[in-house]
Amino acid sequence: MTRYEYGGDEFIFVELSESMSLEVNFQAMAITKQLREERLPGILDICPSNASYMVRFQPEEIHPDKLISKLKELEQSVSVDDFDISSRIVDVPILFDDPWTNEALMRFRDRHQDPSSTDLEYAARVNGFDSKEELIQAITDYPYLVSMIGFVPGLPWCYQMVPREQQIEVPKYVRPRTYTPERAFGFGGAFAVIYPVQGAGGYQLFGVAAAPIYQKEQRLYDFKDSMTFPRQGDIFRYRSITMEEFQAIEKQVEDGTFRYLTREITFKPRQVLENPKAFSDEVLGGLYA
C-alpha cells in the first residue's frame, strides 16, 4: 500500500512499495514525469528514487493536503503502459578484481561478513556461483537500469534488468569502510554502483570503472552539459575489460579524447517487464552494431 508522509513544512514523501522492482521504479518515473509536465504552481523540486519519490513545494502556494490529493490522483491515472522512456544505452568498461579495490577491501576485513575471502569470492558463494568468474559473467550478461541518482552527486543506483529470481544480491559490510577508491564498482543489496569520488562506503567491491562518471572540470565531451554523467532511466551495460584496455582508456581520459559508447533509445516499460532477455538482446545488439 502506498504511503504518503509529510516532511516538515516543504516536503511530501511517497513510498510506492517497501521493496524495489522494475515495475515500481517505472511507476515512480511515470508519475514524476507527469507531475513535471503539469507544472503545478508551488512545486519546487521533484526527486524520484528506487521505489519512492519526494516533492518539495512552497506551502504558501499549494496546501500539502491538496498536493497529496493530486499525487494520489496521479497514482491512479498514470499507467506505465502509456509511458515512453527516452534513454541511453551505455557501454561502461569495468576492470574486475583490480589491485586498487582489492587493496582497499583487504584493509577492512574486520568489518566484513567473511574476513577470510575477498568481496568477489564472498558474493559468488552467497549467490550460488562456483567461482568469482561465474559471478562476473552473470553481472555482465545483462544490462542495468539506472533507477536513481544519489548518495553522492552522480552515483548511479543500477538494477539489473532480469527476472527477480536471477537478481544478484549481497549484504553491505557489517560496518562501513572509511575508504573507497574513486570509480570503485560495488554491489549492495540488489544494486550495482560506481563511487564517483573517493570516500567512505559499505558496498561489496568488485572492481573499478575505467572512465569517470563525475568530472568537476568538465573536460571530456560527455561532461560538456553536466559534471555528472549518469541519468535516471539510462541503461548501463557493465563490460569486463583487461588491464591493457583499462590503461588505454585511462590514457584517453587524460588526453581528453575518451567518449562513452552510447546509443539513444526509446522504449516502453512493458517491453522489459514481459521479456527482459529479449529486450536486453535487442538493446545490446544495437549498442555494439
Q: What is the CATH number of the domain that holds 253?
A: 2.40.100.10
How many CA within 13 A on the CB side of residue 24?
Answer: 18
- Return the H-helix or E-strand segment holding 156: strand 156-160
Q: How far is CA 179 from CA 100, 106, 107, 195, 203, in A?
A: 11, 11, 9, 11, 11
Q: What is the pLDDT of residue 83?
A: 86
Q: Is residue 1 over pLDDT 90?
A: no
Residue with cell string 513545494: 57
- Of the ranges 75-89, 150-164, 210-224, the best mean pLDDT one: 210-224
CA 96, CA 271: separation in Å to the nearest integer? 30
The three-class DSSP label of residue 57 is strand
Cβ-contact 283, 89 below 8 angstroms: yes
- 238 and 212: one domain? yes
Number of domains in the chain: 2
Q: What is the pLDDT of residues 19-43, one digit of tens each?
A: 889 999 999 999 999 999 999 999 9
- 246 and 181: one domain? yes
- 240 and 105: one domain? yes
Residue 266 pLDDT class (50, 70, 90 cuts):
very high
Looking at 37, 56, 80, which one is the last position of a domain? 80
Question: What are the percentages of helix, strand and coil residues in the chain, rounded to 5?
Answer: 35, 30, 35
Looking at 56, 80, 104, which one is the last position of a domain? 80
- 153 and 257: one domain? yes
- 76 and 93: one domain? no
- 182 and 257: one domain? yes
Q: What is the pLDDT of residue 289?
A: 83
Q: What is the largest CA-CA distance in the chain?
A: 60
Q: What is the pLDDT of residue 218?
A: 96
Q: What is the pLDDT of residue 82?
A: 85
- Give the three cell numbers for residue 122: 564472498
Percentage, residues of the chain above pLDDT 70: 100
Looking at 50, 80, 110, which one is the last position of a domain? 80
The whole domain housing 97 covers 86-288
CA 225, CA 52: separation in Å to the nearest integer? 27
Q: What is the pLDDT of residues 191-239, one digit of tens each?
A: 999 999 999 999 999 999 999 999 999 999 999 999 999 999 999 999 9
**CATH number of the domain bearing residue 35:** 3.30.1360.40
